[in-house]
Amino acid sequence: MRQALRQARRAFVLGEAPVGAVIVRDGKIIARGRNEREAKQDPCAHAEIVVIRRAARKLGSWRLTDCALYVTLEPCAMCAGAIVLARLPRVVYAAADPKSGACGSVLNIPAEKKLNHHPAVSGGLLAAEAGQLLQDFFRAAREKKVYPRPAASLNSGVNSEQASTAQSV
């Protein structure tokens, strides 16, 4: 989890929400990831998705059946779904997410009986440290008014006709 926290701190410095993740196999880290949503302007570039993709590439298989995921924040619904689909047998998270956590806080996707894979999930490992990092980031973001992004940057690469069509829909 300390290595996942290191990734979260890197995300913080880069202006991303400070969530980091690592995937471990046979006691060794095989992939590292952190949030990259702002850098890639990709709503799916959560730390868990980034690290799952890297691990799958490294192993040459989407099935991560002998790996464990360590992540600094409880996975959301999208990430919990990816965890199930990647067949990860174990997930350890630091801080619970009472607003969108999908591993027990709001939803519990890994425990859904209708699904064909049920990873073991545990939370709370280094939760105070991970939680403090998240609080510091969002406090600073509010003070700097970093969010939301300026409207001009949202329409970059979109001509005025496309923008007016999108607004009228």
88 class by beta-carbon count within 10 Å (0-12 exposed, 13-18 middle, 19+ buried): buried
SS3 138: helix
* Position 127, amino acid: A
Contact yes or no for 138/97 (Cβ under 8 A):
no
Task: For residue 48, indicate whether it is catalytic.
Answer: yes
Buried b (16+ CB within 10 A) or exposed e, 136-165: ebeeeeeeeeeeeeeeeeeeeeeeeeeeee
SS3 24: strand
Catalytic residue among 48, 74, 112, 143, which?
A: 48
CA-only gyration radius of the chain, Å: 17
Task: Say how far apart CA 155 and CA 105 lie, in whole Å.
Answer: 35
Known catalytic residues?
48
